[in-house]
Amino acid sequence: MTKYIFFSGKGGVGKTTMACATAIHYASQGKKTLIVTTDPASNLADVFDQKIGHKITPISVGAIHELPLQLFAMEIDPDEATREYKERIIGPFREIMPDDVIASLEENLSGPCTTEMASFDRFIDFMETDEYEIIVFDTAPTGHTIRLLELPVNWSKHIEESAQGSGQTCLGPVQSLQDSKDKYDRATALLKDPERTDFIFVMRPEDLSLYETLRASKELEGIGIKSGEIIINGILPEEVCEIEFFRRKYEAQQKVLGETENAIKKPKRFMLLRDNEVNGIEALQGIVSELFKHEIESIFSENPPESPFFKGGLNSPLSRGVRGVSPPLAKGGFFNKIPKTDLIIEKPDIDKLFIPANGTKAIFFTGKGGVGKTTISCITAVHTAQKGFKTLIVTTDPAAHIGEVFDVKIHDEPSEITKNLFAVMIDQEKAFIEYKERILEDARGKYSEDMIAAMEEELNSPCIEEMAAFDKFIRFIESSAYDVIVFDTAPTGHTLRLLDLPFDYAKQAKMMINTTEGAKAKKETENRFRKIIDILRNREQAVFCLVLYPESTPILESYRAMLDLKDAGIETQLVIANMILPEEVCVNDFFTNRRQMQMKYLNEIKERFNLPVLRFPMLQDEIRGFEGLIFAARHLI
């Protein structure tokens, strides 16, 4: 029977690379293997260095293997999946129903939940086939993966309840969805079957990554899914950390590795940091050989010993020939041809962008998962608060950790961290309850009992949770209580989804109250969303910033995000290139190679985006707590 392998973890930890390497490993063993991504900001094509898209595509391996690998890949496109999903529901009715009924069905399927459900429906189609021996799922970052995995339970329940009521859901008639309910139930059973499904978490040896892994593992167990192996990626090789700057980072990683051993009693694999990028089959082969090199050794047993990658562990990795780094590039190699001097990039005027002139200024940070959006968001909030502006930092990321950065507890209502600085984390479940109660309370006395009952049934849909969280999100934008609101958004694909919501929910509002008696309320809702859209498009009221690492995949993803924002009428105003290696600490080939790679990509960023670029340096210590953020904020000026 088909084996399913899920990769998950905090954004930017290397999930896609590890998933691709695992797919190559099983394909090279002669197993017919498919890798599928459910990430709206997929970069499978970037890693394999070939076009993939919304179709099953054979992966070309060139001349590395004598025989072709049985390896295939697909990137689920949310828009295309939605089109297919709608046609599957509406198609059978086109020849037998009048045009007005078809138009009504199409309008009903214009709600925001349809896109989410369509992608998921396409995703679990692969759990209904026996065509492949191995299916690897490169999932979206953790918080969204958890949401995705909860959908079968929630939708199955919603379909069942709707069948007892009006027979309608926001996805169309219950009758047309009954087969889907059965499919979702089967998918849920497979996800919970450890004989058929493995969950592998990828993390980095960092406090926040360990916290995220523990949190996500607990959430998985809460819905009956047990996680398996842990891959710890990006471990600094001890021999290249001879100066204090990197030695302290190395020691901080060793501390986290020891904590991970104590906190997670599961099999682990270890990958050292490389001095180059991983793109293309040949580079992935190097990952495969390291990732599966010790598969039969004791570190993969049920009771793993201490990691050989931290002090006090087993034999040193060098003496055992364990290397996760590529050999240093030879003198005169590709990166050594790049001038070692810094590029001349004019530093942008941050205060001109971030300080409000008239009314509230909303600042959005987005980008690929794991590039430091949350830390940059917190630094910015500290900066504007110190300037004397009443500042609120809001997170819309289900896997948020602004509390860990500030080192304080963040609540679901704004709470003061220090003078002029407030923080809030949107609790989706609580927001859903509040939203539902507020809508129904407002409707009582205005509309008939039949309409109230229909609205209540509609409000029980799982997709309303997303609408409720968004409603709370835009209330902060509408509020005049703060001078500056900093939004630490979810990773790129989900941020773009969030920004699409005003447009989608205007349609949803029409569907929910599309009656004569609801016309006034519908008009009010449309006007409200129109105002929000105007704010997002106003450069004086909203600033959109892309955060990235100077590496190929984050650059490509951020560039696509900039174009998507532009299509929605939103102009990006700043690029923040994070974690730039200071030249003075790059004293050996390993870090010189990495810095020269960064310089090459900084030049590409400047040319490709044609926007102001703020270079934020890698600091010696992890940025934690208010004092650490104050120190880091100096680099914004």
**Averages of pLDDT over each 10 residues, the chain, 637 residues:** 87 86 91 86 79 88 58 88 83 80 71 68 82 88 54 56 53 56 78 88 90 84 82 94 94 95 91 83 84 55 43 34 31 31 63 90 85 91 95 76 85 91 87 82 77 71 68 81 87 54 50 52 69 86 93 84 85 95 94 94 93 93 88 85
Query: Phi first, then psi: what are they for 636, rounded to 5°?
Result: -80, -25
What local confidence, expressed as pLDDT, does residue 312 receive? Answer: 40
Strand 197-203 with 230-235, pairing: parallel
d(CA 437, CA 440): 5
Integer-rounded Cα Rg, in Å, for the chain is 25
The answer to whether 177 touches 171, Cβ cutoff 8 Å, is yes
pLDDT for 132 equals 94
Cα separation, 334 vs 344, whole angstroms:
21
pLDDT value, residue 177: 58
What CA–CA distance (Å, rounded) separates 5 from 135? 6
Q: Model pTM?
A: 0.76
Domains of the chain: 3-300 (3.40.50.300), 350-426+483-511+526-636 (3.40.50.300)
What does the block give as tokens for 246?
């990197």
What string of H, E and C letters represents the secondary structure of 288-321? HHHHCCCCCCHHHCCCCCCCCCCCCCCCCCCCCC
- What burial letters (b/e) apply to 256-293, b meaning 16+ CB within 10 Å? bbbebbeebebbbbbbbbbbbbbbebebbbbbbebbbe
The rounded Cα 565 to chain-centroid distance in angstroms is 17
CA distance 452 to 66: 67
> What's the pLDDT score for residue 569?
85
- pLDDT at residue 221, as a whole number: 82
Residue 303's pLDDT is: 44
Res 331: pLDDT = 30
- Alpha-carbon distance 3 to 136, whole Å? 8
Contact 446, 440 (CB under 8 A): no
Structure confidence at residue 61 (pLDDT): 66
State the Cα–Cα distance between residues 561 and 488, nearest whole angstrom.
Answer: 16
Strands (E), 377-511: 391-395, 415-418, 421-425, 484-488
Sign for the CA dihedral angle at 17, 335, 274, 379 comes to: negative
User: What is the per-residue pLDDT for 143?
Assistant: 52
pLDDT at residue number 451: 72
